[in-house]
Amino acid sequence: MGLKAMGLEMDHAQVLVEQGQQDEALGIMKSLSERFPSNQQVLYNTAFILVEKGLYAEALPLLDRAHEMMPDHPQIRFAKACMLAEVGRMEEAWPLLNALIRDFPVETRTWLQEEDTYMEKIKADPRYPGLLATRAPKRR
């Protein structure tokens, strides 16, 4: 905590994003990522802003690093899959999507229903209908 903690700056960046000021928010997040290079929340939030700006190729390395730190985090896995698809690496994205629909079926179906631009390549893939039809294994 204290004045050098990331919480207030992260909150400030979030407010700026909500106000449509992605460039200013990105500046804050890049500063945070220099000070906290191993924090997955900083990596994910910086990547989120890059995605909002349509800078998918720049977001992917941050998501890769966040995914290495937290491989089971569903939002990080989903964001990584979307960015892989956007940069033309669909064959790497698809196993992540299959695992997500199996492990987090409700959340993944909800995310897949979004109309964000970065979802277009996934939805255009001929495997997409089958992905939505995947049933989660019954738990005992």
**Annotated domain spans of the chain:** 7-133
* pLDDT, position 125: 96
| Mean of pLDDT values over 49-62 | 94
| Mean of pLDDT values over 115-132 | 93
Residues 6+ apart with CB under 8 A from 105: 134, 135, 136
Chain Cα centroid distance, residue 57: 12
Q: How far apart are CA 65 and CA 82, in angstroms?
A: 15
Pick the CATH number of 7-133 from 1.25.40.10, 2.40.128.110, 3.30.70.270, 3.40.1110.10: 1.25.40.10
Q: Is the pLDDT of residue 4 over 80?
A: no
Q: Is residue 1 very low, low, confident or very high in pLDDT (cuts 50, 70, 90)?
A: very low
Instruction: Output the CA–CA distances (angstroms, integers) from residue 39 to 29, 32, 122, in the order listed.
Output: 11, 9, 28
Q: What is the pLDDT of residues 57-111, one digit of tens each?
A: 999 999 999 999 999 999 999 999 999 999 999 999 999 999 999 999 999 999 9
Q: Is residue 124 very low, low, confident or very high in pLDDT (cuts 50, 70, 90)?
A: very high
Please give the model's pTM, rounded to 2 decimal places: 0.87
* pLDDT, position 118: 87
